[in-house]
Structure 1
Amino acid sequence: MSASTDVDATVEQLLRDYDTITVVGASEAPAKPAHYVPEHMQSRGWRIVPVNPRGGTILGERAYESLADVPGPVGLVQVFRRSEQTPDVAREAVAAGATALWLQLGIASAEARQIAQEAGLRYVEDRCMLVEQRRTGLRAPAR
């Protein structure tokens, strides 16, 4: 099995297994991927939990200032932050009890990958969740 096939399988598992996506770096700006990607996922049935240091409301949901502030289980964490910021996000995800970490298209970090894998998190990097949802045709699992 090739590395690409392994990642494809992980992508499909994550989309099938999680009904909620905690989005670190979620944005209120409609033109930004950090807004329209989670918006697309929300429209396909996933619950979105935005994380943005400004707080407020994003996509009709309360935005939490940090992963540590998110109540309840975190599960799948989607990341819209610069690559050099992702090791800290990975550490925060592990501390918050996340079980999967997904770095969006254009975002990759060997250190974040190592942190996630050593903690047993399923891990995807440099892939767009919207593109992968369209490729697989999957919708959110029933809650």
Structure 2
Amino acid sequence: MAECEIPRENLPDPEIKELLQRAQTIAVVGVSHKEDRDSHKVARYLKEHGYTMIPVNPKYKEVLGEPCYPDLKSVPVPVDIVNIFRNIEAIPGIVDEAIDVGAKAVWMQLGLCHNASAEKARQAGMQVVMNKCIKIEHSRHFATHKE
């Protein structure tokens, strides 16, 4: 398995906060239906905090009561943030799909970084966050007591 690179460039804090404020629809790629998995906890958190959370995983028909799609191309609505919970080798393909569907941002979860894909996404006009947890960043910027 490839190791996480060090992000050469990341979205600054004020822009992360603005991205989280502006976003409405977040596709969680690689979400699990298992409640103890981080991807499931993050998806539930996003849903509980008012986002339209779209599960993306070809293994499931539904996650957290939402229809689950096999890939980003199958998602029937525009996506603001593509939140990635897949192995590093899968990132280039996911970023290509995110560009194809016109997503506004790509968010690689804690432990995930792919500088070449990040640069490609930026060239396509997308915002990119790497090696950060969207749940941690959201709770840090919008201090809530709901878990």
TM-score, length-scaled by structure 1: 0.89
Amino acid at match of 1:41: L
Structure 2 residue 119 is the aligned partner of structure 1 residue 114: yes
Q: Give the deviation of 1:51 after TM superposition.
A: 0.4
Identity between Structure 1 and Structure 2 (%): 34
Looking at structure 1, the residues matched to 10 and 99 of structure 2 have their Cα atoms a distance apart, in angstroms, of 26
Amino acid at match of 1:116: A
Q: Give the deviation of 1:35 after TM superposition.
A: 0.4
Structure 2: unaligned runs, 5 residues or longer: 1-7
Looking at structure 1, the residues matched to 37 and 73 of structure 2 have their Cα atoms a distance apart, in angstroms, of 24
Structure 2 residue 75 is the aligned partner of structure 1 residue 75: no
Q: Which of 14, 17, 20 is 1:15 aligned to? A: 20
Q: Which has the higher helix share?
A: 1
Partner of 1:56: 61
Q: Tell me the C-alpha RMSD between the 2 structures.
A: 1.9
Give runs of aligned pairs for residues 1-143 of structure 1, distance below 5 A.
6-137=11-142
TM-score, length-scaled by structure 2: 0.87
How many residues of Structure 1 are paired with residues of Structure 2 in the alignment? Answer: 137
Structure 1: unaligned runs, 5 residues or longer: none
Structure 1 contact 16–138 (Cα < 8 Å) conserved: no
Looking at structure 1, the residues matched to 124 and 9 of structure 2 have their Cα atoms a distance apart, in angstroms, of 22
